[in-house]
Amino acid sequence: MGLIRAVRGCYPRFGENCFVAENATVIGDVIMGDSCSIWYQAILRGDVHRIRLGDRCNVQDGAVIHCTYDYAYTIIGNDVSIGHRAIIHGCHIADAVLIGMGAIIMDKVIIEPEVIVAAGAVVTPGMKLESGYIYGGLPAKKLKAITAVQRQALCHGTATNYVKYSDWYRT
């Protein structure tokens, strides 16, 4: 298991069947649900505010989750996939959301269920992303509606696959 550390009297708490890679970091006021996976070089730093993850979330390689002191905490729903090297900062992400590789989600953003944020997108502070759409660009804009295939494969299927992948590392 990676670097797991208390800060300011808060120690991370994990649900059942979670995987934390050997060089991942989880610090402070972080609580995650069941079957979550925190991959290589990912950082969840709950030192200045709280971070909450639902069930079956995956935080892929090099991603960072943080908050802003006394201003913006991070809440992540169930079945959320956070792509490689994404930055999630002080925002609320609902269920079945896919955050693409290298995307940046800033303070006070609200992402409704079943949204895809494209790789490299920058979601600026305070934006609200409507359910059922793909957002991309800098700053991020609504690009198009999610198809039924994308909804099943990306919003739901990615989270399911990462539960399976993390099982490979436990055997």
Domain boundaries, the chain: 3-170
pLDDT score recorded for residue 164? 97
Contacts of 29 (CB under 8 A, 6+ apart): 7, 8, 10, 12, 46, 47, 49, 50, 51
At CB < 8 A and 24+ separation, what contacts does 40-47 make?
A: 44/12, 46/7, 46/10, 46/12, 47/7, 47/8
Task: Quote the radius of gyration of the chain (alpha carbons, Å).
Answer: 15
- Residue 56 to residue 24: CA distance in whole angstroms: 17
The fold adopted by the segment(s) 3-170 is: UDP N-Acetylglucosamine Acyltransferase; domain 1 (2.160.10)
Q: What is the pLDDT of residues 47-101, one digit of tens each?
A: 999 999 999 999 999 999 999 999 999 999 999 999 999 999 999 999 999 999 9
- What average pLDDT score do residues 12-34 get? 98
**Phi and psi torsions of 31, nearest 5°:** -130, 125
Quick: pLDDT tens for 121-171: 999 999 999 999 999 999 999 999 999 999 999 999 999 999 999 999 987
Among the residues of the chain, which ranges form H helices? 148-150, 157-170
Residue 1 has pLDDT above 80, yes or no: no
Model pTM above 0.95: yes
Peptide bond into 139 cis (omega under 30): yes
Confidence at residue 2, expressed as pLDDT on a 0 to 100 scale: 87
CA gap 116, 69 in Å, rounded? 27
Strand ranges, E, within the chain: 3-5, 19-20, 25-32, 37-38, 43-53, 58-59, 64-66, 74-76, 81-82, 87-89, 92-93, 98-99, 104-105, 110-111, 116-117, 122-123, 128-129, 133-136, 141-145
